[in-house]
Structures are given as C-alpha cells and as structure tokens.
Chains A and B, each alone.
Chain A
Amino acid sequence: MGIAELVDGPLWYFSVAVFVVGVAWRLARIIVAPARTEFSAVSSHAAGGAAAVFSRFLPRREMRAASAYQYGWGYLFHVTLFILLLFGRVHVEFYEARIFGFSWVTMPDWLFLLVSELSFAALLMLLLYRAMEPVTRLLSTRGDYFGSILILLVMLSGCMAMDQTAEPLRVIHLFLAEVLLIWFPFGSLMHAFLFVPSRAYTGAWFGRRGIAA
C-alpha cells in the first residue's frame, strides 16, 4: 500500500474513529464524574443556566475594551473556519464522496482562498498573541502551540492543494487533517464541545442566586 492509499484509506478511518471515540470519552468523563447535589434553597428571582451558554458568545460590556483583541481575531478565525469547512467546494465534494452521499451549495474558489487567508491571518494573530503577551505566554502549554500550528499547516497545505493537480499536496493536506482529528480529543481543542457544559454549570450556579452569568 502506497502512502496515498494509506492516507486515503485506513488512516482516514482510524483518525475519524479516534476523534469520535476520544470526544465521546472526554464527554463521558464529565458525565460519570461525581456530580454534587445542590441543597440550597433556590432564589426567588433565580434564572436557569442555559442563558449563559449563549450569552457568553459576546463579552460583557465591562470587558469589551480589554478583550477586543482576543474576541476580534477569535471571531474572525472561528467564523471563517466554519465557512471554509462548510462551504468550500473541495470540502463539500469530499463529504459527498466519503460521508454523506449528497452535496450542497459551495462558494467559488477565489472566495475560498480569500476566506482562507483571513482565517490564516486571524489564527496567526492569535498565535502571536499567545507567544508574546506575558499572560498567555505564561498560561500556554506545548499542546496549545501544537494545536494552533497544526491548524495553520492544515490551512496552508489546503490552499496549496486547491487545484488538486498536485496530488502530493492533496495527500499532505489530508494527512495533516487526520493528525488534527487524532489530536483533537486530547488537547484544548475540546473546548469546541466543552464550552457547553462549562457555561451551563456556571450559568446554573449563578442563576440559582438570580445572577445572569
């Protein structure tokens, strides 16, 4: 079996399996961890925790100026990433062939490249911030850098492989995407799922007291 067959075949299935099982395992860890029963009497003006799952998509008024950099570049990166994954022609063709068996509307390739550049730039700005700001530099782990650099490489190889004439570039891109899928459940990329229980727990704790968190 050549490298291309390996990447197209077994490694693809393996990476998807690691991703699915890994994510499920990490979510299960939260579900099976001991939960604490709440015995305090709920406030008469209590609110539920669910609101915080949504309200935290935006910074609080008091924090807007201080967190503008992280939110600004963070939003640009996340939104463009979703656009690329959901509406990129090559991606949709891949999903059709490999997963769903049907396709949907895609954006023109020139737009895909433009959005990719924006996404790449946004992630680069976040990575620079991580490496240069004293606070994030102190907090960040090797895994955080690895995850960001891996995504940058996936994007770079993806743009280079766009016209699909250079087969090795396509294989490299798919290979890197598979590494990313395998890495995903083990690092902080899991925030893509875990923001929901974290916000809900916090929202419920404050909501019980009548505070909108």
Chain B
Amino acid sequence: MNKVPETTSFEKGVDAMKAQIDARVVSYLSSCVRCGVCADACLFYTETEDPRYTPIYKTEPIRKVFEHEYSFWGKLGARLGLKRPLQESDLADWETLVYDGCSMCSRCSMVCPVGIDIAYVIRKVKEGLAAAGYCPDDLVHAAERAIQIGSPMGVTAATLRATLRAQEKECGLPIPLDVEEAEYLCLLSSGEIAGYPEFIGSLAKILDHAGVSWTLSSEYFEATNSGVQLGSTPLARQLVERIVDVAEKLGVKTVIMPECGHAYSTLRWDAPNMLGRALPFGVVHVLELLETLYADGRISIDAGTDARLTYHDPCNISRRGGVVDAPRRLLGALAPNFVEMREHGAMNWCCGGGGGVSANSRAEPLRRRVFAVKKRQLDELGADMLVTACSNCRNMLADGLEDHEMNTELIGLTELVAENLVSDEAGSVPPVNPSA
C-alpha cells in the first residue's frame, strides 16, 4: 500500500514537476503573454481582487522549474544570479494558493487568448506539491481513509447496507447489491450516502421503472477519488484500479457515475490515461443514462413542477466532463419554467468547492467568500428552485444559500426526475421522501 506523502521533500517535488513537463506543458509554459485575461475568469480573483489568485500565477512553481531546467535564459540567469530558482518557501506559499484558492474548475482554460489550458498546468503543480508533502492535512487524511477504509469520509460497507435498507423502505423496492452480470454497476460518493441517500432510492425507482439491470457493490462503492483532489497520480491510480477490479469481478458492462463531478471526469476521462489502457467497461454519468432512457421512451416524465427553476452546472460534469445537454433535455421536459443563468454550461461559475477545496477546512472562509458570484447569478434570475447534479456542489450551494439567507429550494436532478416519473397506467409514481 502506498503511503500518503507526509514528509517534506523539496527535491521530490521538483522531480515530480519535471516529470509532468510534457509537450503540452512546454507549449503552454512558453506561450503565455501575461495579459491577465485569465484573472477575470476565476472566481477566486473576481471575488477577492487579489492578483495572487490569477490562474496562471498559480502555475509559477512549474514555470520556474521549467525555466531553470530547460530554458537558455533561465539557466544563464540562474548562473548570473539574476533569476531566483524555485525555493522550498515557494512551495509553502503556493500550497495555499493552489489548494485553497483553486477549485480546478477550468473556467480560466476557456478564455486564454493564446489557448493555455491553465487548469491542466495547475494540476501538474499539485503533483509536485503533493510529492513534496505541501498539501492540506485534511486532504491527506481523506486520502488515507480512502486507501485504508475505502471512503474518504470513513463510510463503511455496514453503513452502506443500513442506508440501503432505509432507502428500500422509502422507495418500496429492493435495491440490488453485489449482483453479478448486471448490466450496470452504480458507484456512490460517500457524501451521497451520508448526506443525500435519497439519490439511491430515486435511482432505484427510475431504473426499476425502465427495467434496467443494475447493481451496487458492497466490496467497493466509492466513486470519488481523493488522489485526484490531492494531486497525486499514484494514489489516484490505486483508487481507480479498485473500481476496475470490482467492475470486472461483477462482470458489468457499464459503470454509472453518481451525482458527483470529479468522480465522473476522473473515471470517464482520466482513468484510462492513468492506467495506460482503455477501460474494460463503459462509463456514463447518471444524467447521461437518464437522458438516454428518456429519449428511448423507457421512462416518461411529467412537466411536474412549475417552479422558476435553474440548473447549476457542476464544472466536472459540464465543462470538464462534456455533459451539458443531457440535464437540459431532462429539465426541458420536467420544468416549463426552466431558466438559465447568464453564464452557464461550459462557462458556468463554479460553486467554489471543487478540486478538494470543500474538504479543506482551512479554505472555508475563502470558499464562502467566493460564493458571492453564485449569489449574484441567482439574484439576477430570481429562481425559486436550484437544481444540480453533484453532491459536493449541493453542499456548497446549501452553505451559500444559508450564509446569504436565501430561501431558494435546492434539489438533485435525479431526485427531481424520480419525483416526476409517470407510470404507464396510473399517472405519477409516488415520490421518494428524503430520509431524515
């Protein structure tokens, strides 16, 4: 078992960053014109106006490594004492900038005039910081729990079973567990099991309605990846391998990723590259599956809510995941009064809690402060209901609504679909009640 990095080792950090310098990073690091445009795309800058939160500034450690190791002027400048190479104190400074002041939302990557995917480079910096041990204790402990217990929050298989029993009572349906050769395996985030278990009952109801063969797993159920949050590919790979093992053992064709943003983008887009091979199964986000079931006529949904309702795009599902249209098609069917925030879809504003920020208690005051951008968006719309599809976003939105004493109703899209399912004969299927 790999040990979560604890000891400070500057060289390890520098070496880890050097190992990250691929062709793409070389191109990016060589083409920035330092125009500052990316600052205005980042909520950590717009809400604080502190220039240190400028996205590209967060990549300074790897730029310094690159310049010092690979560029003519960098080497010459360092020899002549004109350029200061990366120092250990920089890692301490950038730890807070990168882990507390970046939610890895990639909004900056959409706007750079020369085309730099800034978040891609920030992720590389994290790799160096994590290798050097410059990362928040909370994230290190979460990763330790994920490796040792199988859940960053310490949720065990026994807790899962108890939750499933409660949800079976709520939805009146058996919830399949450890069923071999099912078509789909659904993973869950610990946050869902602990905070939004009604997601499970809702999904059971929808999949039962559509006649989908599916299962959960008690052996390994965790969808989230603490290695990614920490920025450590070796840890991330271990957690991905557990998913691959359990999916292969059960013989499923497709893995459903639940309402969790980074869990989806990690397994769908990053995991094959971590493993160096294509996954032996398909990966769908739950919203993609629901939309397919709806489009294929396997579920019918009612325009059951006339609330003025809007959708918060989780960054890792929309911008970084590519799932933008599916929730809109579902909401189009569900809610005649669906309205979009001015910046939405691939240009949505983050909730502020992605990239491990939500799990990092040190970052909480900053995270609550940058929520102001979401509040402005919501105030502009005057929506009664806010729908999302990520339990982490949902927690952040709930905090923000509470902080600003806003009484906007908050709900997950899977639950909303379940509440508005239409059974073939007898009108709407009864809703799943959130458990206490």
Bind each other: yes
* Interface residues, chain A, with chain B CB atoms under 8 Å away: 26, 29-31, 33-41, 43, 45, 52-53, 56, 59-60, 62-63, 66-67, 70-71, 74, 129-130, 133-141, 143-144, 186-188, 190-191, 194-195, 197-203, 205-206, 208-213
- Asked, given contacts A134-B51, A186-B72, whether A200 binds B115 with beta carbons under 8 Å apart, the answer is yes
- Separation of A74 and B57 alpha carbons in the complex (Å): 21
Q: Are A45 and B322 in contact (CB under 8 A)?
A: yes
Q: Are B27 and A197 in contact (CB under 8 A)?
A: yes
Q: Are A39 and B73 in contact (CB under 8 A)?
A: no
Interchain residue pairs with CB less than 8 A apart (29): A29-B26, A30-B30, A33-B25, A34-B23, A35-B24, A38-B273, A39-B278, A40-B271, A63-B37, A70-B36, A70-B113, A135-B39, A135-B45, A138-B51, A139-B57, A143-B73, A188-B32, A188-B34, A195-B115, A197-B31, A198-B112, A201-B24, A202-B109, A202-B112, A202-B116, A205-B120, A206-B346, A210-B324, A213-B109
Q: Which residue of A lies closest to B24 (CB)?
A: A201
Q: Is B244 an interface residue (CB 8 A)?
A: no
Q: Which residue of A lies closest to B34 (CB)?
A: A139
For window 262-277 of chain B, which residues contact chain A by CB distance below 8 Å? 268-273, 275-277
- Separation of A43 and B342 alpha carbons in the complex (Å): 26
- Asked, given contacts A62-B347, A74-B35, whether A35 binds B30 with beta carbons under 8 Å apart, the answer is no
Q: Are A198 and B115 in contact (CB under 8 A)?
A: yes
Q: Are B22 and A130 in contact (CB under 8 A)?
A: no
- Asked, given contacts A26-B30, A201-B117, whether A62 binds B321 with beta carbons under 8 Å apart, the answer is no
Collect the chain A residues with CB atoms within 8 Å of residue B328's CB.
Answer: none
Collect the chain B residues with CB atoms within 8 Å of residue A56's CB.
Answer: 112-115
CB-contact partner of B115 in A43, A53, A130, A209, under 8 A: A53
Which one of B23, B52, B272 has the highest number of Cβ atoms from chain A below 10 Å of its Cβ?
B23
Q: Is B426 an interface residue (CB 8 A)?
A: no
Q: Are B30 and A194 in contact (CB under 8 A)?
A: yes
For window 13-53 of chain B, which residues contact chain A by CB distance below 8 Å? 21-28, 30-37, 39-41, 45, 49, 51-52
Chain A nearest CB, measured from B80 CB (Å): 13
Collect the chain B residues with CB atoms within 8 Å of residue A135's CB.
Answer: 36, 39, 45, 51, 54
Collect the chain A residues with CB atoms within 8 Å of residue B57's CB.
Answer: 138-139
Q: Which residue of B lies closest to A197 (CB)?
A: B27
Q: Which residue of B lies closest to A55 (CB)?
A: B115
Q: Is B374 an interface residue (CB 8 A)?
A: no
Q: Are A39 and B117 in contact (CB under 8 A)?
A: no
Q: Give chain A's interface secondary structure class.
A: helix
Q: Are B34 and A144 in contact (CB under 8 A)?
A: yes
- Separation of A23 and B115 alpha carbons in the complex (Å): 19
Q: Are A133 and B115 in contact (CB under 8 A)?
A: no
Interface residues on chain B, number (Cβ under 8 Å): 63
- Asked, given contacts A67-B40, A135-B36, A194-B114, whether A186 binds B51 with beta carbons under 8 Å apart, the answer is no
Q: Are B114 and A59 in contact (CB under 8 A)?
A: no
Q: Are B34 and A136 in contact (CB under 8 A)?
A: yes
Collect the chain A residues with CB atoms within 8 Å of residue B117's CB.
Answer: 201-202, 205-206
CB-contact partner of B34 in A60, A62, A71, A141, under 8 A: A141
Chain B nearest CB, measured from A86 CB (Å): 22
Q: Is B111 an interface residue (CB 8 A)?
A: yes
Collect the chain A residues with CB atoms within 8 Å of residue B31's CB.
Answer: 188, 190-191, 194-195, 197-198
CB-contact partner of B23 in A33, A52, A138, A139, under 8 A: A33
- Separation of A182 and B28 alpha carbons in the complex (Å): 22
Q: Is B245 an interface residue (CB 8 A)?
A: no
Q: What are the 5 A-B residue pairs with the smallest beta carbon separation, nearest first?
A: A199-B115, A209-B322, A39-B272, A194-B31, A66-B40
Chain A nearest CB, measured from B17 CB (Å): 14
Chain A nearest CB, measured from B85 CB (Å): 14
Collect the chain A residues with CB atoms within 8 Å of residue B322's CB.
Answer: 43, 45, 208-211
- Separation of A38 and B34 alpha carbons in the complex (Å): 29
Collect the chain B residues with CB atoms within 8 Å of residue A210's CB.
Answer: 322, 324
Chain B nearest CB, measured from A167 CB (Å): 34
Q: Is B68 an interface residue (CB 8 A)?
A: no
Q: Which residue of A lies closest to B63 (CB)?
A: A141
- Asked, given contacts A191-B114, A198-B115, whether A33 binds B272 with beta carbons under 8 Å apart, the answer is no
